[in-house]
Amino acid sequence: MGTRYRDYNPEQTFLLPPSPSDWLPQEHLAYFIADTLDTLDLSSFHRRYEGDGRRNRPYHPTMMLKVLVYAYATGVFSSRKIARKIDEDVALRVLAAGNRPDFRTINRFRAEQIEEFKQLFIEIVRLAKRSGLLKLGTLALDGTKVKANASKHKAMSYQRMQEDEVRLVAEIAELIERADLRERIDLERYVDESIGLPTLRDIVAELARPGRDPREQFEAFEFMEGIEDMKDLEPGLMLPGIVTNITAFGAFVDIGVHQDGLLHISQLADRYVKDPNEIVKVAQKLQVRVLSVDMDRKRIALSLRKDSAAVE
């Protein structure tokens, strides 16, 4: 008897349109942000549009704010990325409720009300902390709660909470100001023969990640002290090394003697290895054993095998 799967028909149409509220679990961050914003006074964001007589109706400020706050809380700051994610991200689609503002609209809305938005975001973070949340998306919050008794521990906790809130407020303000500054950079001015627009956008996107250095973490590697030349090597010696290249027949390892040693594929493990990439990768740090040293041909044979013995 054949396996019976659950119904799956991606072309199936709905007799009744599905409710967006069914697309996310009830405890989702998007609903917390939406519910919180619905309780706050947003009149300052509406005031800008009062009596301006514009023909084209603007997007509702509450919708724009829900989209922006959720995007910022989840580490998305570029107006282009926010606009794209409204089409791709379920949570943002729910918050936008069928609206699709383009990146220019998002950027203009944020730029025109940057100070109000900054204060609003800070207020949402405060409410999240009071609700006992430890995180708001990618933003870590202080979960310290003040106890009811008037103890010394209470006073200390309250002081730490106050200090942490000051830090959070400062970080949020800086986060929003930097995002606004990045949006105002005309990247096309810096395009030339050596660097294109996509690369510049990637650089800005990396710099937008809070608390992250876009440069790869570098850690100095230390070779064995006293081993500086091939003549210092002898079979059986255990050495630290770092993989510099991988080929079909093995891997080359720098052991600090100005000549890379070869880890033949047969010496990578105490079992059959079909592909060296299964065992090692470039820049991987290893402890290798010297099998043999050929001074005339400048060859060094190495091994990772536990049962290896010197070879001719």
Strand-strand pairing, 238-247 and 299-303 = unpaired
- The DSSP line for 115-167 is HHHHHHHHHHHHHHHHTT-SEETTEE-------SS--HHHHHHHHHHHHHHHH
| Residue 310, pLDDT score | 42
| Most confident of the ranges 106-120, 211-225, 282-296 | 282-296
Q: Is the pLDDT assigned to residue 164 strictly greater than 90?
A: no
| Residue 187, pLDDT score | 57
Q: Is the pLDDT assigned to residue 131 strictly greater than 70?
A: no
Burial annotation 269-280 (CB, 10 A radius, 16+ → b, else e): beeebeebeebb
Fold of 230-303: OB fold (Dihydrolipoamide Acetyltransferase, E2P) (2.40.50)
Q: What is the pLDDT of residues 11-48, one digit of tens each?
A: 777 776 677 777 888 888 889 889 989 988 888 888 87
283: left (phi over 0), alpha (psi -120 to 50) or beta: left
Q: Is the pLDDT assigned to residue 275 strictly greater than 60?
A: yes
Q: What is the pLDDT of residues 145-156, one digit of tens each?
A: 323 333 333 333
| Residue 152, pLDDT score | 37
Q: Domain boundaries in the chain?
A: 20-181, 230-303
Band the pLDDT of 8: cuts 50, 70, 90.
confident
User: How far is the C-alpha of 292 from the C-alpha of 69, rounded, in Å?
Assistant: 63
Distance of CA 51 to the CA centre of its chain: 43
Amino acid sitting at position 258: H
Q: Check if the beta carbon of residue 180 is closer than 8 Å to that of residue 111.
A: yes
Q: Is the pLDDT assigned to residue 78 strictly greater than 80?
A: yes
- The DSSP line for 215-232 is SPP-----PPTT--SGGG
